[in-house]
Structure 1
Amino acid sequence: MLEDALAKKLQLSFSSDRNPYLDPILVGGMQPDGMDLQSTVMQSSRIFWYQLHEARFDISEMSISSYLISLARGDDTWVGLPIFHSHHFFHTWSIIRTDAGIERPEDLKGKRMGVMEYQMTAAVWMRGALLHEFGVAPEDMEWWMERTEQSSHGGATGFKAPPGVKLNRIPEDTNIGVMMSEGQLDAAVFYHRDPASVDRSRIDLMSRPDIRHLFPDAATESERYYQSTGLHPVNHCIVVRRSLLEKHPWIALNVFRTFRAAKDDVVAQGRQLMEPYFQTGAFPSDRRSAVAADPLPYGVKANQKLLETVTQYVYEQGLTARKVEVEEMFAPSTLGL
């Protein structure tokens, strides 16, 4: 009986990095109606490489910037779903050398900036914040990129340095961590030393006294940025193989509803865990309404400004020859969500 039931369901491969909002699906067994997702947990940079180079999985997490670049180039392998499980204030992740003469973002002009991959969405948001909030353009810095042509996402999307941007490739026998520690770089978009990623850096930079974050108080800057822009940047979405969706268009809504239900379950558990703090007065009772709100909604409508901004940033930074419209990004059945 079980074998018969499974045979009637679509057997699909799915991959994403670990994320609390996706865990009910990745490890909790939650499944969309009509599908049996075979989940593979993988570091996100590797997922993107496999999807952009090989289209390995039917459904996966995807870099928004690389997806936009692919669409602008006419690659229609993937269709997006408005599932946004990864939000951060990326510009607050930037690190600097304390002896580089950088006290504020404006001091980055003329500095040497390390980046794992120039086209990565976190870097897009960081450059957008620097330009629109602090008047520092990408052309004002000298960029050093760690990923090689073979290991980069740009190797699959035809990446070339945008006009006016001075971009160097970091030699393969070194990396951002070494160059920051030796004073060969003044700053980095952010620092990542996960051995499961495609990146090479391994040094613990943040334990060094000569390295600090550009924004020492990231929480204060995050709040300021949000109040100024109304944006809580997102870097990943979920994509489905287009050929699969054309054959089974119902997949889009079924996946969206299941992923939204997974997030709602996690949020509800979080609120339940917070209840003793409200009951005992540790948290003010007038904050209940704030906790009841959803700061990370899924769907196109609730994220329209965010999506318009990231598509504009990718275009104005020279990563696409045209501005991709938000309506191009997502399955038609999800545009009204």
Structure 2
Amino acid sequence: MSKLQVSLAISDYDHVRDFVYGRVTAEGLDINFQVLPTPEIFDRATRDQEWDVCEMSLGKWTGMFSQGDDSLVPIPVFPSRVFRHSALYVKKDSGVDTLDKLRGRRVGDPDFAHTAGIYARGFLMHDVGIKLEEIEWVQAGTNKPGRHENLELNLPAAVKRVSVPDKTLDGMLLAGEIDAILSAIPPKSFIAGNPNMVRLVPNHIEVETEYFNRTGIFPIMHFVAIKRALFERNPWMAVNLYRAFEEAKDRSIARIKNMMISHLPLPWNPDNARRATAMFGADFWPYGVEPNRKTLEAFLNFTYEQGVAHRKVKLDEVFPPSVQHILKV
């Protein structure tokens, strides 16, 4: 029997690599993999839907879905997860040295629907107590000018939002035109070691650990999505894809835990895996709906209260029933 030919775009992760390069396969599928940067995947997938299956931003998808665009069907495979207390940058000695001092300030971000920003605004609102309208939000490219908001927002009336497409957040922060940057992509001055640009939360690992222990939220940035028309013709492919991604992830985690040789060029990988197990559980990078329910429900609430989602999206709407409860074999 011939296999279903599909195209799949995803970024380069160790925990998907065995699938991409054929050491793991998905039953019934002949896949043309394309490994690309995530911003390019998101742009091409949302504008032209160039692939049958692709990695997708949670924030962008939720905003689109809330406005009636259900052209992509997600499966609960989460290639990227990052705590985002580390995504806030300020000018050194500016007086903004704690999260609560962002109240009344101008904060720049590349676009309001980028997932990192949604999580960060979530903890600013719920944990620090800053209302969305107590910050003026400035939109611009982090390191390159010309970036625009690419999703229609439904911001609360009191929220101030301005776009400055001819400037960069990096330049505006150093010039004193904004007070902080909120971005998944680090400002180029920070990467270059400019001493005038620092993280607002320098001890972010400690802060993020406490945040997880208190809230149970382990931020999910991206999931994998299938074109709806293709999924509806071949509903079996969702579970088969899920199983392949799960096997590739398990093989990656086994490499991290290997004490005999170093599969990754970083010291103490097995020790880091033990610490992650103690904090997150035996499967410290879980796929599936139930192990991630708390994180996903919190995120969906954040998108609605921040005006990224035009209506409140329920978790049961997000994933098809076939992948909500997958038999472990």
Fold match (TM-score > 0.5): yes
Residues 12 and 38, structure 1, Cα contact 8 Å, conserved in 2 = yes
**After alignment, is 30-39 or 293-302 more displaced?**
30-39
Q: 1:182 to 1:314 in 2, by over 3 A?
A: same
Residues 145 and 165, structure 2, Cα contact 8 Å, conserved in 1 = no
Residues 181 and 205, structure 1, Cα contact 8 Å, conserved in 2 = no
Match of 1:250 in 2: 236
**TM-aligned CA deviation for residue 90 of structure 1:** 0.9
Residues 93 and 213, structure 1, Cα contact 8 Å, conserved in 2 = yes
Match of 2:15 in 1: 21
**TM-aligned CA deviation for residue 204 of structure 1:** 4.7
Across the two proteins, how many residue pairs are aligned to each other?
Answer: 315
**TM-aligned CA deviation for residue 103 of structure 1:** 2.0
Describe the superposition over 1:212-264 as per-residue Cα deviations: whole angstroms up to 9, x where unpaired.
Answer: 11111111111111111111111100000000010001000000000000000
Q: How does 1:60-71 map to 2 (within 5 A)?
A: 60-71=54-65
- Secondary structure of residue in 2 paired with 1:207: coil
Q: 1:138 to 1:260 in 2, by over 3 A?
A: same
Match of 2:117 in 1: 123
**TM-aligned CA deviation for residue 192 of structure 1:** 2.3
What stretches of structure 1 of length at least 5 have no aligned partner? 194-200, 277-281
1:189 aligned residue (182, 190, 193): 182
Q: CA RMSD in A?
A: 2.6
Describe the superposition over 1:255-310 as per-residue Cα deviations: whole angstroms up to 9, x where unpaired.
Answer: 0000000000111111123789xxxxx969x9797498111110001111111100
- Secondary structure of residue in 1 paired with 2:309: coil
TM-score by length of 1: 0.86
What amino acid maps onto 2:175 in structure 1? E
What amino acid maps onto 2:285 in structure 1? L
Residues 12 and 36, structure 1, Cα contact 8 Å, conserved in 2 = yes
Residues 107 and 135, structure 2, Cα contact 8 Å, conserved in 1 = yes
Q: For residues 19 and 68 of structure 1, what CA distance do their matches in structure 2 show? A: 23
Match of 2:265 in 1: none
What stretches of structure 2 of length at least 5 have no aligned partner? 263-269
Q: How does 1:164-313 map to 2 (within 5 A)?
A: 164-172=158-166, 174-190=167-183, 192=185, 202-204=188-190, 207-273=193-259, 290=278, 293-313=282-302
Q: For residues 289 and 138 of structure 1, what CA distance do their matches in structure 2 show? A: 35
Match of 1:279 in 2: none
Match of 1:315 in 2: 304
Match of 1:329 in 2: 318
Q: For residues 191 and 301 of structure 1, what CA distance do their matches in structure 2 show? A: 26
TM-score by length of 2: 0.88
Q: For residues 202 and 72 of structure 2, what CA distance do their matches in structure 1 show? A: 39
Q: 1:39 to 1:275 in 2, by over 3 A?
A: closer
What amino acid maps onto 1:335 in structure 2? Q
Superposition misfits of 4+ residues, deviation over 6 angstroms? 286-289
Match of 2:267 in 1: none
Residues 162 and 319, structure 1, Cα contact 8 Å, conserved in 2 = no
Residues 154 and 310, structure 2, Cα contact 8 Å, conserved in 1 = no
**TM-aligned CA deviation for residue 171 of structure 1:** 3.1
What amino acid maps onto 1:40 in structure 2? Q
Match of 1:98 in 2: 92
What amino acid maps onto 1:188 in structure 2? I
Residues 206 and 212, structure 1, Cα contact 8 Å, conserved in 2 = no
- Secondary structure of residue in 2 paired with 1:100: coil
Q: 1:241 to 1:149 in 2, by over 3 A?
A: farther
- Secondary structure of residue in 2 paired with 1:36: strand
Describe the superposition over 1:57-114 as per-residue Cα deviations: whole angstroms up to 9, x where unpaired.
Answer: 1101001111111111111101010011211111222111123211210000111111
What amino acid maps onto 2:171 in structure 1? V
**TM-aligned CA deviation for residue 205 of structure 1:** 5.5
Q: For residues 111 and 191 of structure 2, what CA distance do their matches in structure 1 show? A: 19
What amino acid maps onto 1:309 in structure 2? A
Describe the superposition over 1:131-164 as per-residue Cα deviations: whole angstroms up to 9, x where unpaired.
Answer: 1111112211111111599855x53x42354432
- Secondary structure of residue in 1 paired with 2:235: coil
Q: 1:242 to 1:17 in 2, by over 3 A?
A: same
- Secondary structure of residue in 2 paired with 1:171: strand
What amino acid maps onto 2:32 in structure 1? Q
Residues 154 and 307, structure 2, Cα contact 8 Å, conserved in 1 = no
What amino acid maps onto 1:319 in structure 2? V
What amino acid maps onto 1:167 in structure 2? R
- Secondary structure of residue in 1 paired with 2:5: strand
Residues 140 and 146, structure 2, Cα contact 8 Å, conserved in 1 = no
Residues 116 and 221, structure 2, Cα contact 8 Å, conserved in 1 = yes
Q: For residues 310 and 55 of structure 1, what CA distance do their matches in structure 2 show? A: 24
